[in-house]
Amino acid sequence: MDHPDHRVHDILDYDDMRAMKLGVLCSGGKDSLFACGRAMEKEEVVCLIAIRPENEESYMFHTPNVSLVPLQAEAAGLPLIEIQSAGEKETELGDLRQGLILAREQQGIEGVVTGAVLSVYQATRIQQICHDLGLWCFNPLWYIDQEKYLNSLLEKGFKVLVSGVFAEPFDERWLGRPLDYSAVTLLKHYREHYGIMLTGEGGEYETFVLDAPFFTKRIEIIEASTDYQNYRGFYRIIRARLVDK
């Protein structure tokens, strides 16, 4: 049947057998890179797309260490489309839109992948922009079982550290801590007693990925600093490099 919405008509012709070219919205954290790995299993990931907000309170984009996404892109052997954003509530959506347009022009993306887990705010806005641009939108972690997801992340060999904490009861020792099985056990305890989301989807903590199964090299941190006060802190990576795995 004919699609009554002409914008959708073009993408109806999507060839069922051909892998779709996708760009992955990448903050440097575990969710976007796990989603990237999942997308690589199903389609063709042609680039990472990073929005670098100047504002650490960005509504849409996770902030700590997003400046190191270029190292992750290099480790994954993927081109990176990078957009600077003032990180203010309304303009950052326009910046995201520009990033997706650029990714389509430069890398021919047909769709976008995000690491959204539960955020209707984030998913709604990205879905709307993709719809306006005639791009597919995939959220492979959407409403995933959070405990199974974290276990799967570790089983698949992702090396992840905690790059920011923003809620009680996270103390300074979490900054730079590897997200391993013992950390997950403690996070489960925090979920029971403090009501945090296991994956940090509520902004309780942020992460940075040092290694992923699809990286050909891993990231080694040479120098970092921490800044912590009242259950709020950042682990800032000052110098890092790629090394052989």
Partner 1 sequence: MILVIDLCCRGGSLGFDEFVRPIVAIVERSGFDVAPIHFRRITENCLSEADAVILCGTPLADHAFLKEPAAFAWLKETRLPVLGICAGMEVICTIFGGSLGACTEIGMTRVNVTGDDRLFQKESSFSAYELHTFSCTNPNNLEVLAISERCIQVVRHPEKPIFGVMFHPEVRNDWVVEQFLTLSGKYRINP
Please choose, out of 39-47, 65-73, 178-186, 214-222, the segment that lies near partner 1 by the rule CB under 8 A. 39-47
Q: Pick from 76, 135, 161, 237: which binds partner 1 (CB under 8 A)?
A: 135
Determine which residue in the list 96, 130, 183, 212 makes contact with partner 1, applying CB under 8 A.
130
CA 184 from centroid of its chain's CA atoms: 19
Asked if residue 75 binds partner 1 (CB under 8 A), the reply is no
For partner 1, the closer of residues 38 and 236 by Cβ is 38
Considering only residues 39, 68, 96, 100, which one is a binding residue for partner 1 as defined by CB under 8 A? 39
Strand bridging mode 136-138 / 159-165: unpaired
Does residue 115 belong to the site contacting partner 1 (CB under 8 A)? Answer: no
Whether the CB-CB separation of 78 and 48 falls below 8 Å is answered with yes
Closest CA relative to residue 198, chosen from 240, 140, 144, 243: 144
144 binds partner 1 (CB under 8 A): yes
Q: What is the DSSP letter of 16?
A: S
Contact between 80 and partner 1 per CB under 8 A: no
Binding span for partner 1 by CB under 8 A among 130-138, 157-165, 201-209, 225-233: 130-138
The yes or no reply on residue 222 touching partner 1 (CB under 8 A) is: no
At 230, is the secondary structure helix, strand, or coil? coil
Confirm or reject binding of residue 136 to partner 1 (CB under 8 A): yes
Give the nearer residue to partner 1 in terms of CB position, either 147 or 172.
Answer: 147
Q: 198: Cβ–Cβ under 8 A, 6 or more apart, which residues?
A: 146, 147, 150, 184, 187, 188, 191
Residue from 12, 194, 203, 241 touching partner 1 (CB under 8 A): that is 12
3-state secondary structure of 169: coil
How distant, in Å, are the alpha carbons of 16, 112, 124, 147, 237 from that of 69? 32, 17, 24, 26, 12
Single residue of 24, 46, 66, 137 touching partner 1 by CB under 8 A: 137
Handedness of CA 27, 28, 32, 37 (dihedral sign): positive
Is 238 one of the binding residues for partner 1 (CB under 8 A)?
A: no
Instruction: Measure the CA–CA gap between 207 and 205, rounded to whole angstroms.
Output: 7
State yes or no: residue 133 binds partner 1 (CB under 8 A): no
Q: Is 244 in the site for partner 1 (CB under 8 A)?
A: no
Structure tokens of 174? 């979490």
Which positions touch partner 1 (CB under 8 A)? 1, 3-5, 8, 11-12, 14, 16, 38-39, 42-43, 111, 113, 120, 124, 127-128, 130-131, 134-145
